[in-house]
Structure 1
Amino acid sequence: MSPPLLEDTYQGDRPLRTLVALFAGQRGRLAIGALAFVIKHSPVWVMPVLTADVIDIVVQHRPLSELWLAAGFMGVLVAVNLPLSQVFIRALSKSVRTVETDLRMALARRLQELSIGYHRRISPGVLQAKIVRDVENVVEGTRQSIDTGLAAITTLIGAIVITAIRVPEFLIVFALAVPASAALIVAMRTRMTARNRAFRTQVEQMSARVSEMTHLVPITRAHALEADELARVDQSLLGVREAGIRLDVVNGRFGALSWVVFQLLSVLCLVGAAWVAWTGTFDVSAGDVVMLSSYFMSLTGSVTALLSLAPIIAKGLESVRSMGEVLTEPDIERNAGKADAGAVRGSFSFEDVTFAYSDAPDEHAISGLNLEVRPGETIAFVGPSGSGKSTVLNMVIGFLTPVRGRILLDGRDMGELDLRTYRRHLAVVPQESFLFEGSVRANVTYGNDDLSDDTVREALRDANALDFVEQMGGLEAVIGERGARLSGGQRQRLAIARALIRDPRVLVLDEATSALDTASERLVQEALARLMEGRTTFVVAHRLTTIQGADRIVVMQDGRLVEQGTHEDLLAGRGAYSQLQGLST
């Protein structure tokens, strides 16, 4: 049995408990990292004891062999910091980067599951910030808390325990070494520019991919391509993860080298000072004073470090809550366990369908709609703004479900079907086509990557798009972000080619020609005519040229169906449609 998804167990209202649960699967790595850290960090609190021994050797004029033995032990103790630092950095980095990836994938999955109504309520920028900024806050807050916290706590415990036994000294050497180490670290970090640039590039690409995903949610959902979109995002997220691990490891290596260098310099300074004191060159004070001063600095520094973590932890916990707003949002489209739609013929039956939006439950956008649609029939919806046309289309797609009544697809209640399996037989051409940065081929074959070039060219030809595509450079020509290199008519024709590739049984056209000039409209209308042939088609348009050839025209007013018939019949009836004709020419 597979483990539950992160988004199904997330508790945004209990951020600390949730944060602990997020890292539950990384306990083994974190334990190894913590052990390596305690050992590698031990010189901070062990070195004063060895210092006291060296001082005693000097004061008591014991044999120099004891001094060289102590010096060798110090060198070994410091030198092991380098490999152990690598163990710690890798364990910590893999842990936090894995949690980072899991969080972002969980957010991406939830965004694909949340209803279209939710996506219309929440700004894409807000959602992108949760995936990028809030996850980063949690990861960096955790990293700093573990790193700084472990250093402070181990130093604090070691200093207190050993101070209770002995009173050592070592302050002077550390006071001289700290400025030197700071300068060394600054110099070494200038070499990290390339790694930082690579990581920043990956983050920017990931941010762009996430932004595309949020804009593509309607078209992705309409065509049941959630898995394909998640695969695209997954590649980008894994790229960020690997670039981040490489950056962390290199940063850790340089940090460890700088620490080793200045600690060895401190040891040499101490041994040299002890040697000259033993030989009587200089007068050196007792080791107990130096050890006491060193531990006093360690104690105060550890307490200060722990206090400095408070705002970092608070920021991370707030981000945990922020992500919980998405991961615990109940407004999702539930398809699990429902029946497969199977083969779709394209007949629809609206039975006393009523719908109201959640922000205005007392105002019916659709009221008592009864409508029968035969397979292969073209139904055009017309009416003034707010009459319910787009709401009907969204119910056909499955974005909205009736609050009363039902919609039957081939005699089966759509509320009982897995809408993802139905949408594989559906294509949508909206007013503004959704295109992503990439090649013409990638955009046209979205979700059908294994199609041959000849099939793609045939679809482009039927969509009146092949000529301008070849002028751009062919199927691999890049169209720019959201089709920036294309005109409105060209974008629409690529959208039609994409729909043709899918060979849908049900087609939804939502103001597909409203923003086009006359020349572009003619080319798009010709392409739409080929696309609509033999398919159940639902059309919303204001231009009569788009709808007058429909098998049936449905006139809507205030959410109600007021009349229906062919263009000629409705004109002859001199009713609501006849009045609209005067406003739409």
Structure 2
Amino acid sequence: MTALDHRYRGEHPVRTLAYLFREDRRGIAVAVGAFMVKHSPTWTLPLITANVIDVLVARKPVAELWINTAVLLLLLMLNYPGHLLYVRNMHGAIRRMGTRVRSALCRRMQDLSIGYHSRVSAGVLQTKVIRDVEGVEQMAQQASDGGLSALAMLIGGLGVIAVKVPLALPVFLLVVPAASFLVMRMRDRMRSDNESFRQEVERLSSRVSEMTTLIPITRAHGLEQDALHRVDHTLSKVLRSGLRLDLVNGRFGSLAWIILNMLGVGFLAGSALVAYYGVLPITAGDVVMLSTFFATLTASVTTLMSLTPVIGKGLEAVRSIGEVLQAPDLEQNAGKDEVAAVTGRFEFRDVTYEYEPGRRAVDGLDLTVTPGETLALVGASGAGKSTVLNLVIGFLRPTSGTILLDGRDMETLDLRTYRRFVSVVPQESILFEGSIKENVTYGMRDVPDETVRQALRDANAMEFIDRLPAGLDTVVGERGARLSGGQKQRLAIARALIRDPRVLILDEATSALDSRSEALVQEALGRLVAGRTVFVVAHRLSTIRGADRIVVMADGRIAEIGSHDQLVRSGGLYSGLQAAQTG
């Protein structure tokens, strides 16, 4: 199980980050130790500089000068191996964390219901997997590089001051509450603006994804300017939100710089006056050391404060990732009975499904489908046909009522194991950018070429594949762009055939084809349906004449049921649809 997989519960993002890095905590401890060693010259330099000045002013033995120089050179030489050790452990931990989170997100997306994916744009989910995880990685890298540098300087510097000039320590500690006050005042505003900016970027991602998908339609209807206007409108919102966030970060950074440097000027003058009037026993070297330390410690606090916007943005990315990881709309399969075999008998007992309260897509469905039967579903748009198919596949669960598969309540079954016996041929075949063989055998291993060829022959696809230069190894392009609609559908049928399913779902499988392609696909479908339980949705009634039974649906209910000839003779709703299509 990967980090955060099924674990995120809306906890504070800092706790989530601690959990993410749990597997690499030893390496991170080594990295922190290496960083402190490699960074030690930054806080030892003011001390060594003070020692050198005191050697010169007090005319101490010159050997002390060489000892201080040798110590500094040794620490400088340790920087190289220390830095490599730090990068290998810290940056390696950050990269592995990013990989684990992306894996957890992808796993979660596979477990989320189809209803969730219909509500949330694919572009938004892509943004979370790519941009938000990258934001967390960048936050971790910048916080570790800049934050550890500042903390090393603070801890080392305050330690030296506590030993050399302990009476000056309280003055240095004034910087911390001053910085904390600024952070507390700006924190809520920065979080709000980070969240607003992140949401606008997600909307932009969704809009761009939509635009690229619709380019053929946009170009065909001359709507390029309309599409650009929609994107430009979203870009304007991203611009305004981004500028608002930049102004908040800018005000924060400027106020922090002014306040901390004013404290530095005051401390420089104060330490000089203390030494001048002999109020405290401090040397000229101590004055130089204290003023240098105050400048560097102030810079360190400024660095830590400048990380606040970066950390705020990164924590907002963690919250964004959490929106997916804690989404409750899961398909629950864990612990349920596995399906080892399917004969294909379905019983719908008073099944109702509501997409939202009061809007019933399927209303009181009572229906029994026997093994090997071909059942066609017809009716007007919105009649409930596709909802019934989604209930059969298990994408949707009944709001009320029961669906039995071979006598077993589907609510008690692990639907992932059931779907191994199901194949779907949709209206638009979904292909990925790979070879014909890879698309047909998707999810299957070590399938012989001859088995693939037989499936393609049965799907009437070899007649065009034989004409392709690379044959089965021909790359189909993104979403099958190099193939026609009929060719893609025949590959989808071959993909179904090679799996030898017990349950077959045909969702408008020929509605978008020309007459020649439809004839070839219909012939292939005739081979595919043999001996299987088949659910068919079709608008063209001519394609379902051979179905064992036809269910005519209206407003989520069964209006009529029977064979083609029976329904035509009855003179009911189906007869009217038939007359409209043939007349």
For 2:442 and 2:96, the matched residues in 1 are separated by: 29
Q: Residues 545-584 of structure 1 correspond to what in structure 2 (within 5 A)? A: 545-584=542-581
Whether 2:402 is the aligned partner of 1:394: answer no
Residues 111-155 of structure 1 show CA distances to partners (whole Å, capped at 9, x for unaligned) of: 111110110011011111111111111221122112211111221
Query: Which amino acid in structure 2 is aligned with residue 31 of structure 1?
Result: A
Whether 2:364 is the aligned partner of 1:368: answer yes
Residues 369, 561 of structure 1: 8 Å contact kept: yes
Residues 78-111 of structure 1 show CA distances to partners (whole Å, capped at 9, x for unaligned) of: 0111111111111111221222112111111111
**Secondary structure at 1:140 match in 2:** helix
What residue number does 1:148 align with? 146
Query: Which amino acid in structure 2 is aligned with residue 333 of structure 1?
Result: E
Whether 2:70 is the aligned partner of 1:72: answer yes
**Secondary structure at 1:391 match in 2:** helix
How far apart are 1:403 and its partner, in Å?
Answer: 1.6
Residues 382, 556 of structure 1: 8 Å contact kept: yes
What residue number does 1:450 align with? 446
Query: Which amino acid in structure 1 is aligned with residue 6 of structure 2?
Result: D
Query: Which amino acid in structure 2 is aligned with residue 51 of structure 1?
Result: T
Of 475, 494, 497 in structure 2, the residue corresponding to residue 497 of structure 1 is 494
Q: Which moved more, 1:3-12 or 1:544-553?
A: 3-12
How far apart are 1:566 and its partner, in Å?
Answer: 1.1
Whether 2:520 is the aligned partner of 1:526: answer no
Whether 2:336 is the aligned partner of 1:338: answer yes
For 1:391 and 1:471, the matched residues in 2 are separated by: 39
Q: Which moved more, 1:65-74 or 1:541-550?
A: 65-74
What residue number does 1:434 align with? 430
How far apart are 1:397 and its partner, in Å?
Answer: 0.5
Residues 13, 321 of structure 1: 8 Å contact kept: no
**Secondary structure at 2:351 match in 1:** strand
**Secondary structure at 1:381 match in 2:** strand
Residues 376, 535 of structure 2: 8 Å contact kept: yes
Q: Describe the shift of the 1:4–1:515 C-alpha distance in structure 2 as closer, same or farther (beyond 3 A).
A: closer
**Secondary structure at 1:370 match in 2:** strand
What residue number does 1:185 align with? none
For 1:165 and 1:376, the matched residues in 2 are separated by: 88
Residues 542, 584 of structure 1: 8 Å contact kept: no
For 1:165 and 1:504, the matched residues in 2 are separated by: 79
Residues 11, 18 of structure 1: 8 Å contact kept: no
How far apart are 1:547 and its partner, in Å?
Answer: 0.8
For 2:507 and 2:326, the matched residues in 1 are separated by: 32
How far apart are 1:583 and its partner, in Å?
Answer: 3.0
What residue number does 1:9 align with? 7
Q: Which moved more, 1:308-317 or 1:116-125?
A: 308-317
Residues 370, 533 of structure 2: 8 Å contact kept: yes
Of 353, 356, 370 in structure 2, the residue corresponding to residue 355 of structure 1 is 353
Give structure 1 stretches of 5+ with no counterpart.
168-206, 216-284
Query: Which amino acid in structure 1 is aligned with residue 450 of structure 2?
Result: D
**Secondary structure at 2:491 match in 1:** helix
Residues 3, 101 of structure 2: 8 Å contact kept: no
What residue number does 1:477 align with? 474
**Secondary structure at 2:423 match in 1:** strand
For 2:580 and 2:55, the matched residues in 1 are separated by: 104
**Secondary structure at 1:355 match in 2:** strand
Residues 3, 100 of structure 2: 8 Å contact kept: no
Whether 2:92 is the aligned partner of 1:94: answer yes
How far apart are 1:7 and its partner, in Å?
Answer: 3.0
Q: Residues 399-418 of structure 1 correspond to what in structure 2 (within 5 A)? A: 399-418=395-414
Give structure 2 stretches of 5+ with no counterpart.
166-204, 214-282
What residue number does 1:466 align with? 462
For 2:98 and 2:392, the matched residues in 1 are separated by: 37
For 1:145 and 1:155, the matched residues in 2 are separated by: 15
Q: Which moved more, 1:26-35 or 1:113-122?
A: 26-35
Residues 147, 304 of structure 2: 8 Å contact kept: yes
Residues 420-456 of structure 1 show CA distances to partners (whole Å, capped at 9, x for unaligned) of: 1111010000011111111111100001121100000
Whether 2:37 is the aligned partner of 1:46: answer no
For 1:418 and 1:9, the matched residues in 2 are separated by: 21
Query: Which amino acid in structure 2 is aligned with residue 331 of structure 1?
Result: D
Residues 431, 512 of structure 1: 8 Å contact kept: yes
Query: Which amino acid in structure 2 is aligned with residue 160 of structure 1?
Result: L
Q: Residues 123-142 of structure 1 correspond to what in structure 2 (within 5 A)? A: 123-142=121-140
Q: Which moved more, 1:55-64 or 1:492-501?
A: 55-64
For 1:344 and 1:71, the matched residues in 2 are separated by: 82
**Secondary structure at 1:364 match in 2:** strand
What residue number does 2:263 align with? none
Residues 529-561 of structure 1 show CA distances to partners (whole Å, capped at 9, x for unaligned) of: 111111111000101221111111111011111
**Secondary structure at 1:6 match in 2:** coil
**Secondary structure at 2:338 match in 1:** coil
Residues 33-92 of structure 1 show CA distances to partners (whole Å, capped at 9, x for unaligned) of: 111111111110112222233334444555655544433322211011111111111111
For 1:8 and 1:417, the matched residues in 2 are separated by: 20
TM-score (norm 1): 0.76
For 1:470 and 1:94, the matched residues in 2 are separated by: 49
RMSD over aligned CA atoms reads 2.1
For 1:125 and 1:546, the matched residues in 2 are separated by: 36
Residues 442, 449 of structure 1: 8 Å contact kept: no
What residue number does 1:252 align with? none
Query: Which amino acid in structure 2 is aligned with residue 444 of structure 1?
Result: V
Q: Which moved more, 1:476-485 or 1:70-79?
A: 70-79
How far apart are 1:465 and its partner, in Å?
Answer: 1.0
For 1:338 and 1:435, the matched residues in 2 are separated by: 31
Query: Which amino acid in structure 1 is aligned with residue 432 of structure 2?
Result: F
Query: Which amino acid in structure 2 is aligned with residue 362 of structure 1?
Result: G
Residues 510, 518 of structure 2: 8 Å contact kept: yes
Query: Which amino acid in structure 1 is aligned with residue 564 of structure 2?
Result: H
TM-score (norm 2): 0.77
Aligned positions, number: 467
Residues 3, 20 of structure 2: 8 Å contact kept: no
Residues 463, 493 of structure 1: 8 Å contact kept: yes
What residue number does 1:509 align with? 506
Query: Which amino acid in structure 2 is aligned with residue 40 of structure 1?
Result: K
How far apart are 1:291 and its partner, in Å?
Answer: 3.0
For 1:41 and 1:395, the matched residues in 2 are separated by: 62
What residue number does 1:326 align with? 324
Comparing both chains, which one has the higher relative contact order based on Cα–Cα distances under 8 Å and sequence gaps of 6 or more? Answer: 1
For 2:527 and 2:403, the matched residues in 1 are separated by: 27
Of 120, 123, 134 in structure 2, the residue corresponding to residue 122 of structure 1 is 120
Query: Which amino acid in structure 2 is aligned with residue 420 of structure 1?
Result: R
What residue number does 2:160 align with? 162
Residues 7, 328 of structure 1: 8 Å contact kept: no
Q: Describe the shift of the 1:530–1:102 C-alpha distance in structure 2 as closer, same or farther (beyond 3 A).
A: same
Q: Which moved more, 1:62-71 or 1:124-133?
A: 62-71
